[in-house]
Amino acid sequence: MKHVIVYGAGGWGTALALVLRAAGQHPVLYARRADFAARLRKERVNRDYLPGIHIPENLPIRTGLPDLTAASLLVLAVPTQFVRESLTPIAKRFPRDLAVVSVVKGIEVGSLKRVSEVVRDVLGRVPVCVLSGPSHAEEVGRRLPTTVVAASTNHALARRVQRAFMTDRFRVYSHTDVKGVELGGAVKNIIAIAAGIGDGLGLGDNAKAALLSRGMVEISKLGRAMGARMTTFYGISGVGDLVTTCYSPWGRNRAVGLAIGRGKTLGQVLSEMKMVAEGIETTRSVRALSHRLRVPMPIVDEVYRVLFENKDPRRAVADLMTRGAKSEIEDFEMPGKSRRR
């Protein structure tokens, strides 16, 4: 019997294993640490990353290197900066026809590569699909209605992943713009940190609405420079994910910004966190990427300065608000067309 490997037992990996089981698949959840896997098997709840959600007895939880020979899909659910080291031990024996479903939202530091590119760096030309959208694990685990996108340059693979995950509570749309879907999922985490900072400073709804609007402009301009489709950013994996992560109390990136806006340093925030906020390291990557491609991203620049250069958040807001006057139309009438992939 073929099973779906869920590689990573954080909150999102655990929630997706439950979705797959509800969809009639046979998921196997793999945890990195043996002691953590043993605790999950005993307690049948992931109290570190997804508290209050029961894990059924017939959902296997394992550790170590996964059995790839009987797998139909490998769902990659580890933080962005650990993708490369997590895949390297299984690279030599990875089947060339086994599809990887990345549910990771970030850009690798150093290489500045999207996660699907890192996957192929390590595993070679394996089939890759990206699953992304507004989907907090805490709500998915409680079977609240959720909609995401499955994107692959191979539309047949996107449809296959769509069928594998689809339930009456987890709706999946297929897509072919992998670049756009990955960039939307990654960069919105930076805007969410900015939104949290604004909430911590008490800047109000007007400022937050402007932040989301201008943040989407920055995301789409970077996407255009990288050859993504502009329409992707105004769909589920773009504006949909951006709105959710900037407003939801579950958002880890917003929570980081909120704490900083209330006076904490990044070091203090990190020392108190159990889970990874992808937007922190992705801020480094996206800022470097925007400078390489000469795409102005003033919000990203200011978040970087607050996180890594100890800039006062109020000063960052003031600098954004006092930038030179410009026409909004210019941002939507840049020359050139996006390249479809």
CATH architecture under which domain 3-176 falls: 3-Layer(aba) Sandwich (3.40)
In the predicted structure, residue 331 carries a pLDDT above the cut 80? no
Share of the chain above pLDDT 70, in %: 97
pLDDT of residue 329: 82
C-beta neighbour count of 281 within 10 angstroms: 19
**Mean pLDDT score, 266-295:** 95
Query: 116-138: per-residue pLDDT in tens?
Result: 999 999 999 999 999 999 999 99
Report domain extents, the chain.
3-176, 186-332
pLDDT at 332: 67
Which structure tokens are listed for 3? 């099973």
- Is the pTM above the cut of 0.85? yes
* pLDDT of 337: 45
Structure-token pair, residue 85: 């080291």
Task: State which CATH number among 1.10.150.120, 1.20.58.220, 2.40.37.10, 1.10.1040.10 fits the domain covering 186-332.
Answer: 1.10.1040.10
Within the chain, where are the H helices? Answer: 11-22, 34-43, 83-87, 115-123, 137-141, 155-165, 178-201, 205-225, 241-247, 252-261, 266-272, 278-293, 298-308, 313-321
* Angle, CA 26 vertex, CA 24 and CA 28 arms, to 5°: 145
Strand-pair partners of 30:
7, 62
Q: Report whether pLDDT(103) > 90.
A: yes
113 is catalytic: no
Q: Is the pLDDT of residue 341 over 60?
A: no
Give the Å distances, CA to CA, from 325 to 5, 287, 322, 328: 52, 23, 8, 10
For residues 75-90, give the mean pLDDT: 97
Cβ atoms of 152 and 164 within 8 Å: the answer is no
Query: Of 188, 208, 264, 326, which one is the catalytic site residue?
Result: 188
Model confidence pLDDT, tens digit, residues 173-219: 999 999 999 999 999 999 999 999 999 999 999 999 999 999 999 99
3-state helix, strand, coil in the chain (%, to 5): 50, 15, 35
Mean pLDDT of the chain: 95
Q: Are 158 and 127 in contact (CB under 8 A)?
A: no
Mean pLDDT over 35-51 rounds to 96
